[in-house]
């Protein structure tokens, strides 16, 4: 099953969208309220389909009409969400997600392997452990599905609408797993709301600290600031696989490493809006930013800002290249239609949309990017 832009955006931690900056009250959870007002999309930047409104806010559109509106405008990153999907969408911004508490990856041999299990989650309680092979999810073989679709199914969002559609808290999913060469176990797990751990910190050696940020949900900037309180002489900020998130959190994270100044800009209704970092950040500690093809959206904006302002050396591989801004419109039935209304730019005026961010020090194919980051960090020394 090919990955659609709508599926890609849903799997990215439920609403990790740069467009959150355009929503009144997003940081305080207004997205979770179906009656909360939303800013209207720009008709100039989001062309209407024939016979359908350019600004759909408040209108009654079927899902098919909404999808037609997006397709007619060539809106790759636009998306339609039912009221329930959008409520769960907003939960991701608050650092929560619906699921069974496991992460999966695809090995070089094409098998689907459990990479991480959330403590005390349904998967952990069922005895699933990292390294177990995921064979089936419901009736489908996991290896035949894109990893993004596997994750969507675990979170109750995958599959055809006619075969199950949306699934919420308390819904069940059946998994077949095997540990090593052992017996296949079939487990029925019940989905719950889990707290996502978007920031982790670990000491790479006696002096250096790696801070991994998986997504920019509410509170991430403060979590990064807290992580930096541990003794360190150098920092690797790992943004690999970070699909983006709340722009306020990305800007706040920039402020951890910058003493104010530009982080980027975006267009709203044809007008340029500046994004500025808070003052008081650490500008002395040597900093390396790790990126890869899974680094998207607000994560690309952060990496680009630190690169443009010569605050960090960016290491890894070229990023994804999602540099557009989405803005939601509430439909008459409570569903939400997100439409692309513009692009964002780095402090140097670069648009990363479609091209991505090129690292200062690219990692060769098969090269250990973590080891490369440490070598680069060692060469930076202590800033004066």
Helix (H) or strand (E) segment spanning residue 325: strand 324-330
The single-letter DSSP state of residue 257 is H
CA geometry: angle 160, 65, 171, nearest 5 deg: 30
Q: What is the rounded average pLDDT for all residues in the chain?
A: 78
Q: pTM to 2 decimals?
A: 0.68
Domains of the chain: 5-96 (no CATH), 99-195 (2.30.42.10), 199-323+342-380 (3.90.226.10)
51-97: per-residue pLDDT in tens? 334 566 667 777 788 778 878 878 888 888 888 777 766 655 566 67
Read off the tokens for 318. Answer: 């070229």
Q: What is the pLDDT of residues 176-212, one digit of tens each?
A: 999 998 999 999 999 988 776 789 999 887 789 999 9
Torsion sign, CA atoms 177, 182, 186, 192: negative
Are 93 and 245 in contact by the 8 Å Cβ rule? The answer is: yes
**Backbone phi, psi, residue 104, to 5°:** -130, 160
β-pairing, 234-238 vs 208-213, is parallel
Distance between CA atoms of residues 308 and 350, nearest Å: 9
The predicted structure's pLDDT at residue 80: 83
Q: Are strands 287-291 and 234-238 parallel, antiparallel or unpaired?
A: parallel
Tens of pLDDT, residues 17-27: 333 332 222 22
Low-confidence winner among 106-115, 162-171, 175-184, 234-243 (lowest mean pLDDT): 162-171
Q: How much is the pLDDT for 279?
A: 93
- Listed in sequence order, the DSSP H helices in 73-142 are 83-93, 122-125
Angle at 23 between CA 311 and CA 270, to 5 degrees: 75
Structural contact between residues 320 and 263, judged by C-beta atoms closer than 8 angstroms: no
Q: What is the spatial distance between Cα 187 and Cα 120, in angstroms, rounded to a whole number?
A: 16
**Mean pLDDT computed over 233-241:** 94
């Amino acid at each position: 099953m090919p990955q659609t832009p709508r599926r890609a955006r849903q799997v990215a931690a439920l609403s990790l969208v740069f467009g959150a900056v355009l929503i009144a009250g997003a940081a305080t959870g207004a997205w979770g309220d179906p009656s909360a007002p939303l800013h209207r999309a720009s008709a100039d930047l989001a062309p209407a389909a024939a016979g359908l409104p350019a600004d759909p806010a408040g209108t009654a559109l079927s899902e098919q009409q909404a999808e037609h509106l997006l397709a007619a405008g060539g809106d790759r990153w636009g998306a339609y969400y039912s009221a329930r999907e959008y409520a769960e969408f907003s939960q991701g911004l608050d650092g929560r997600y619906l699921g069974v508490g496991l992460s999966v990856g695809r090995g070089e041999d094409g098998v689907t392997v459990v990479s991480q299990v959330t403590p005390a989650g349904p998967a952990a309680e069922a005895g699933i452990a990292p390294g177990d092979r995921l064979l089936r999810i419901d009736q489908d073989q996991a290896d035949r599905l894109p990893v993004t679709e596997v994750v969507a199914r675990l979170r109750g969002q995958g599959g055809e609408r006619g075969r199950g559609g949306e699934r919420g808290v308390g819904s069940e999913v059946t998994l077949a797993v095997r540990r090593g060469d052992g017996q296949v176990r079939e487990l029925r797990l019940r989905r719950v709301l889990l707290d996502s751990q978007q920031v982790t910190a670990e000491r790479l050696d006696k002096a250096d600290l790696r801070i991994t940020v998986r997504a920019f949900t509410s509170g991430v900037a403060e979590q990064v600031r807290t992580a930096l309180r541990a003794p360190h002489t150098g920092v690797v900020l790992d943004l690999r696989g970070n699909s983006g998130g709340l722009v306020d959190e990305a800007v706040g994270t920039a402020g951890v490493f910058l003493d104010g100044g530009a982080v980027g800009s975006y267009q709203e209704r044809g007008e340029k809006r500046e994004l500025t970092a808070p003052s008081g950040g650490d500008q002395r500690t040597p900093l390396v930013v790790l990126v890869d093809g899974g680094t998207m959206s607000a994560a690309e904006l952060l990496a680009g800002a630190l690169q443009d302002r010569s605050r960090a050396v960016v290491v890894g591989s070229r990023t994804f290249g999602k540099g557009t801004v989405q803005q939601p419109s509430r439909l008459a039935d409570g569903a939400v239609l997100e439409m692309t209304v513009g692009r964002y730019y780095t402090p140097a005026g670069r648009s990363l949309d479609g091209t991505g961010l090129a690292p200062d020090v690219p990692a060769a194919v098969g090269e250990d990017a973590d080891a490369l980051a440490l070598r680069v960090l060692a060469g930076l020394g202590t800033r004066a």
